[in-house]
Structures are given as structure tokens and as C-alpha cells.
Structure 1
Amino acid sequence: MSRTSTVFRATMSLDVTSYTSILEGADVTEAAMEFPTEDALAHLDNLLLGFIVPIISFSILGLATNITNIIVFIKMGLQETTTISMLALAVSDFICCLLSLWTYVCYIPAFRDLPNLPFNSVEVSMETGVIIRPFFTRTGALITAYITLERCLCVVLPMKVKTIITTKVTRITMVIIYLITLLPYISHQFQATLGWKFYPHLNRTMIGTVHVNDPVASVALQVNTFVVGFFYLLLASVTIFVCTTFLVITLARNSKWRESVSSQTRPSSSSDESGNSKPSGSRKENRLMKMVVAIALLFIFCHIPAIVSIFLATFSTDFFRTGRYGSFIILLSSIQFAFEVVNNSLNFFLYYMMGTKFKGVFRQMVGLARKTVSS
């Protein structure tokens, strides 16, 4: 099996066909891609059932919080570049939560084993949830990287950043990010699609995954999954880590500066009225910088399992080919899935706690305040 296929297994989490082949100690072939055996499903159930309730719960939470984020950002207006980026991130997170919810509903045994269900829930969830979701996950990763990079430019080039990163540039960048992450999904449609197929062990015909043996499409799929599954995540993670480190250092430096100014101006009646104190615009930038750092740290923490998967796939290709570690691979992929759902769900609380304007608009929207805070 090629290295790109191995990376695909590690990064496109919860790939049931890969799990089946791992449990059977075989490569992913057409035979291995059929409906999993009862033993394989029982083994999957033991490992995945524990994740169903928390993932479904966080997915529902994420749907609610991201709908709220989208509404609040639209009410705030799209005159600021950061608002546009965070709106695009909220849309991506909302879709990820929706696909996560659908995927795990299909894994619930009571739903999966319904006698009159016209489709194979595991295979349908693969094509309509599991395989699509990583593309939106990478979209969110690249948008987060863009947000942190923009904050760094605000520090490095404070006088020029407004002319470099405009609202128009940000809108175009968001569209490009969505296109470069979602267009590769088209190659999968030439490799597999949904259609009617007969399942001998059930003696019935249902809608399931129909695979097409197209060598060109297979190569394109491997290249695209390598780019989306490996390169985009690596690029985003490195960018976020470097930019976050820079922002943390900058915040620490600003904190020391404020302490120094405070100690010098303490005898005076009001430090805010002294010429040495920072203007309100700088305080607003610091608040925004802290919020971006919090978003980035949440991203880094929640993507540790994905980074571990990439590390194992890169330096130990046999690790994902043998059945010896099958249970661990399934567990790692499930943890990766769960952590990503958490990341998709919690940004609202960061916005509310650290974004003054966001908090004001939200409180007005739900009737807790009479007017919004403009700063």
C-alpha cells in the first residue's frame, strides 16, 4: 500500500472500510469494502459505542453555537476582516457538526439494524458524512491559520496591514480556501458513489457504496487525499503554531510594558489620562489578539490526535497495514473525531467571554441588553 493511502487512513478518521481491512489483516480491496462482517461490527461497537453519546451531544451543541455565531457575525456587520474570517469559520464548523451528528446517528445499533431501512447506514454515512467531513475540517484549519497570520501582520506591519488585508481580500481568500479544500472531493465521486447493491448475507438489495475501478481516478484520489489529509493540515498546524507563539510573546511583552507604565504613573490621578498609557485602540487590538490566541490554542489542543496520526502514518507505514494494532487505530481515529467535534463546538464560548462586541450583540439578540457594545 502506498504512503498516501496510509496517510489517508490516518487522517480521514472513522473509515469503516479501513477498519474492516485492519480487523481482517488485509489491504483495502473491493472485497474488503463490502458490508462489514458481524464480528467486525461487534468489535467496532465495543470501541465506538462509548463515543456515540458525547460526540452526538457535542455535535448538537456545535449546531446551536455555530448557528448563533453566524447570526451574531451577520448582525455585527462584515466591515471588519476578522468578522468575515470568523463567519467563514463558523459556517465550516456548522457543517462539520452536522456531518458528525449524521455519521454517529448512522452508527447507533438501534438505527443501523432497523429491518426496513432502505440503505446500508454504515456505507451511506461513509459517503455522505465520514469522507466529506475531513474536507470541511481542513477548511476550518486553513481559516484558523489565516486568522492567526492576520493578527501577526497587525503586529509586524501595523501601518500597512489595513491596505494589505482588506475586506475584499479576505472574502476572496475565504472563497479560495473553500474551493481548494472541497474541489478535491470531486475525484472521490469517480471512485465510489451511492447506488443499489445486493447484500448476500442479508438477502436483500439496499442503497450502499458502489465502487468504480478507474485507475486514473484512483491515482487522483490518492493525490488529493494526501494534499487535503496531510499537506493542508500540516501547513495549517505549522502556521498556527508559529503565529500563536509569536502572539503569545507579543502579549507577554505588552503585559510587561503595561506593568512598567502602571508603576511609573501610579502616583498620578489617572493612568488612562497620562500620555504614556496605551490608547483604547491598542487595548481593543490586545483583546482581539487574546481571543485569536485562545482560538488557536483550542485548535492545537484538539488536533493533537490528528497530528499523532500523521506522525505514525509518516514514520511507520506498516503500523496502519497490519491487524496487530487494529483496535488502537480505531480508538485513535475515534478520539481524533471526538476532539475535532469539540473544536468545532466551543468557539462561541471564546467569542462570548473575550469578544466585547460579540457579547453585546448576542445579549441584545436574546433580550439581555438594550444596546450593543460598539467596541
Structure 2
Amino acid sequence: MTNAESFRLFETPTIKTTVMASGRGLQPIDVDTIRPILSAEVYIVLIAVLSYAIFAAAMIGIVSNILVIVTCSKIGFSETINISYLALGISDLMASIIRFWGAICFDFDATNSRLPFDPSSISITTSFFPGQGFEKITAFITAFIALERCLCVQFPLHVKRIVTKRKTIFAIVMIFLFGFGPSNLSHIGFPFKWVFSSAQNRTILAVVPFETPLRYIISRGLLLYYATILHSIALLIVWVCTIFLAVGLKKIAMTKKEYFKRSISKEDKQKELRVIKTVFLLAITYLACSTPTAVTLLVPHFEPEFTPIKGLRRINLVSLFSSALLTQLNSSANLFILLYVGSKYRQVFLALFGIKV
């Protein structure tokens, strides 16, 4: 039976050392090894503020993405772009729910509760890794939407044949499988176990990582897969497509007549422009919220101390929490972007509340 007092990965300013859970029990981490870039007091305040901000943003994200899903369903799926919007709403809804749960796990004081599990411990496999999965699903769906609109701008007469409903659904299903599927491997290296809590004087459910090579292979492999490979590929695709969209919008503005010569009515022209502007805003929002995360993930390659368990752990964790907040803001922004640009979307959305335009 493993003795577990706390499984938090964050040092506290009230004691000389802190602990981390492992297969051998609790391992002490000397707080004196922390470089004093942030004082303990400032660090605790920043983490608390960021954690509650993530909690609030996640609540907004849950509500807004439910509305996105309902509105997209009302509009229908005659256009492939609506299928992509629906998938984006589902992914961001799941990501928001998981971050909401993660914020609760982090803020919840397990030592003063009578819960039969340790929240901060089980958040590893119920929040962190699944959250990574849905974050990357959102990233690749955004990349897919941006790529689709790029094709529409570059090949306006052939895009209907290039991007079909069947291809769109297939691409989205593959994105969900490759995005969320590997996150379940975390249960192998970080299994649930019954451990004894002296604070509650009883056995509770917690996650205690295996001290085996397999655990390190899984954890490092998942971090490499999600934080480096998928994140970099999605970010690169969205950056390139956003540049093409910006150039395309400028080109359309200069040669509207030539670009829309295939269109039958003025309404078709306006609809096409609105879709491109919507995708452009979605891509810009994603880049603004995700690029800081990429920078945070790159820094440890140049500064080895910039990790959650080494000398710069305080500044690292503040950076990670800030990146998580930005990522959640991206997940919460879909509804407002669609309402701002899409007239049909706005009309259907208002009709849900009995408001006629």
C-alpha cells in the first residue's frame, strides 16, 4: 500500500521541501533549488489567479460551444464548412469540459475533504493528457478549415470537387482518432491505485506513476507526440494558410469581378466573402492563442532548468498556466466569431431565443 499525502506538482512556500508522487512513494524536492525569479508569494498568487481564470473561461467555453453545436445543427450540413464548424464546436466543448475539471482538481483541497479520491492526482489521466488530445483536435480542425478555404481561394472553380462531404467527414474522424486515441496510453504509465491518506486516515483512489522504463517511454512519447509533433504541424499549417488567406482576401478585394465571375448573384458573392473572413478570424485567433504555447514548449530545449521539476519551475508553471488560459480563450471564441461575421449563423442563433431579425 502506498502512502500518499499529496500528489501536487507545485511547491508550497510554507515548508522547506515539497513532494512528488512516484512508485516508491513520495519523493522530496528541495525548494531551495528554485531560482528566485518569482517569490513564493507572487508565484502562489499568479497560479491561483490563472487557475480561477481558466475555470471561468472554461465555463464560458462550455456554454458557447453548446450553442455553436445547436446552431450548426439548425443550419444544416448542405455546406462542408458547416460540418467543420460542428466538429470544431464538439472538440472545443470537450476541451472546455476537461479544463473545467482540471481547474477543479487543482483548486480543490483534497486534504480537507472526504472525497474517496485525490483530485490533483487523478487529473493526470483525466484532465492533462485528454486535454492535450482535444487541444490538438481543435488545432487540426482549425488547420483543415483554413486549408479548405485556401483551396477555395486558389481553385474557386474546382473546390466543390476537391472538398466533398465524404472527404470532410473522413478527415474529421481521422483527426479525432489520432488526436484523442493516443492520450489513453497514459493509463498504462499512470494507473489508478488505492493508496492510504494519513490526512483522511483511510484509503483513497489516486494515480501513482510506475517507476519503470515503460512509463517513461509512454510519458515522453505522449509529450513528444502532442507538444512537439502535432502542435508544430498544426501551427505551421495554420500560419501558412492564414498568410494565403490574407493574400487571397487582398486579391479578391482588388479583382472582385474576375474572382466572382462564376457567381450568379450578389448574395453568393457576399456569402463567399463572409465564410473566408470567418475562417480568417478563426485562424488568427488560434495563432494568437497557440503561438505562446509553442514558445513555452521550445524554451526547455535551450534552457534545461525551464521545467516543472527543476530550478525555473515557478516561471515554467506560470507560463504553462498562462498558455492554458490562452488555449481555453481560443476554445471559447468560436461563438463570438461566428456571430460577428456570419449573418445566417446570427439569424439562426437569435431565432433559438425567439428573436427575429
TM range (shorter): 0.7 to 0.9
**In the alignment, what sits opposite 1:269?**
none
- Return the TM-score normalized by structure 1: 0.80
How do 1:13-52 and structure 2 match up within 5 A?
A: 19=10, 30=23, 45-52=44-51
Q: 1:276 to 1:323 in 2, by over 3 A?
A: closer
Cα deviation code 1:315-338 (max 9, x no counterpart)? 333432773312100110110111
Bigger RCO (CA 8 Å, 6+ sep): 1
Cα deviation code 1:18-57 (max 9, x no counterpart)? 5469x969999645877999999x8774332112332221
**In the alignment, what sits opposite 2:242?**
244
**In the alignment, what sits opposite 1:346?**
333
- Structure 1 residue 200, shift from structure 2 partner: 4.9
- Structure 1 residue 131, shift from structure 2 partner: 2.3
Q: 1:277 to 1:159 in 2, by over 3 A?
A: closer
Q: 1:230 to 1:276 in 2, by over 3 A?
A: closer
How do 1:79-94 and structure 2 match up within 5 A?
A: 79-94=78-93
- Structure 1 residue 307, shift from structure 2 partner: 1.2
User: How far apart, CA to CA, are the structure 1 residues paired with 2:74 and 2:243?
Assistant: 32
**In the alignment, what sits opposite 1:292?**
279
- Structure 1 residue 254, shift from structure 2 partner: 2.1
Q: 1:146 to 1:347 in 2, by over 3 A?
A: same
CA contact (8 A) 1:25 1:322 kept: no
Q: 1:245 to 1:320 in 2, by over 3 A?
A: same
Q: 1:253 to 1:32 in 2, by over 3 A?
A: farther
**In the alignment, what sits opposite 1:127?**
125
Range with greater deviation from structure 2 (123-132 or 74-83): 123-132
CA contact (8 A) 2:245 2:276 kept: yes
Structure 2 residue identity aligned to 1:96: A
Cα deviation code 1:172-206 (max 9, x no counterpart)? 11000010111212321111122211235664321
Corresponding position: 1:181 with 2:168: no
Paired residues in the alignment total 339
Range with greater deviation from structure 2 (190-199 or 67-76): 190-199
CA contact (8 A) 1:26 1:321 kept: no
**In the alignment, what sits opposite 2:3?**
none
C-alpha RMSD over aligned residues: 3.3
CA contact (8 A) 2:189 2:218 kept: no
Structure 1 residue identity aligned to 2:248: T
SS of residue paired to 2:312: helix
SS of residue paired to 1:317: coil
SS of residue paired to 2:306: helix
- Structure 1 residue 104, shift from structure 2 partner: 1.1
Range with greater deviation from structure 2 (277-286 or 297-306): 277-286
Structure 1 residue identity aligned to 2:153: V
- Return the TM-score normalized by structure 2: 0.84
Identity of aligned residues (%): 25
- Structure 1 residue 106, shift from structure 2 partner: 2.0
**In the alignment, what sits opposite 1:368?**
355
Structure 2 residue identity aligned to 1:313: P
Q: 1:311 to 1:52 in 2, by over 3 A?
A: closer
Structure 1 residue identity aligned to 2:45: N
Q: 1:279 to 1:210 in 2, by over 3 A?
A: same
Q: 1:221 to 1:319 in 2, by over 3 A?
A: closer
User: How far apart, CA to CA, are the structure 2 residues paired with 1:198 and 1:142?
Assistant: 42
CA contact (8 A) 1:25 1:323 kept: no
User: How far apart, CA to CA, are the structure 2 residues paired with 1:180 and 1:255?
Assistant: 38
User: How far apart, CA to CA, are the structure 2 residues paired with 1:105 and 1:45?
Assistant: 16
Q: 1:156 to 1:105 in 2, by over 3 A?
A: same
Structure 1 residue identity aligned to 2:270: R
Cα deviation code 1:206-264 (max 9, x no counterpart)? 11103234434542442233122211110111110111011111112222345xx8xxx
**In the alignment, what sits opposite 2:321?**
334
User: How far apart, CA to CA, are the structure 2 residues paired with 1:275 and 1:188?
Assistant: 51
Q: 1:224 to 1:38 in 2, by over 3 A?
A: closer
**In the alignment, what sits opposite 2:291?**
304
SS of residue paired to 1:158: coil
User: How far apart, CA to CA, are the structure 2 residues paired with 1:26 and 1:206?
Assistant: 18
- Structure 1 residue 283, shift from structure 2 partner: 2.4
CA contact (8 A) 2:130 2:183 kept: yes
How do 1:1-375 and structure 2 match up within 5 A?
A: 19=10, 30=23, 45-109=44-108, 111-200=109-198, 203-216=201-214, 218-257=216-255, 279-320=266-307, 323-369=310-356
Q: 1:129 to 1:257 in 2, by over 3 A?
A: same
Structure 1 residue identity aligned to 2:117: F
SS of residue paired to 1:196: strand
- Structure 1 residue 288, shift from structure 2 partner: 0.6
Unaligned 5+ segments in structure 1 are: 1-15, 262-273, 371-375
CA contact (8 A) 1:20 1:32 kept: no
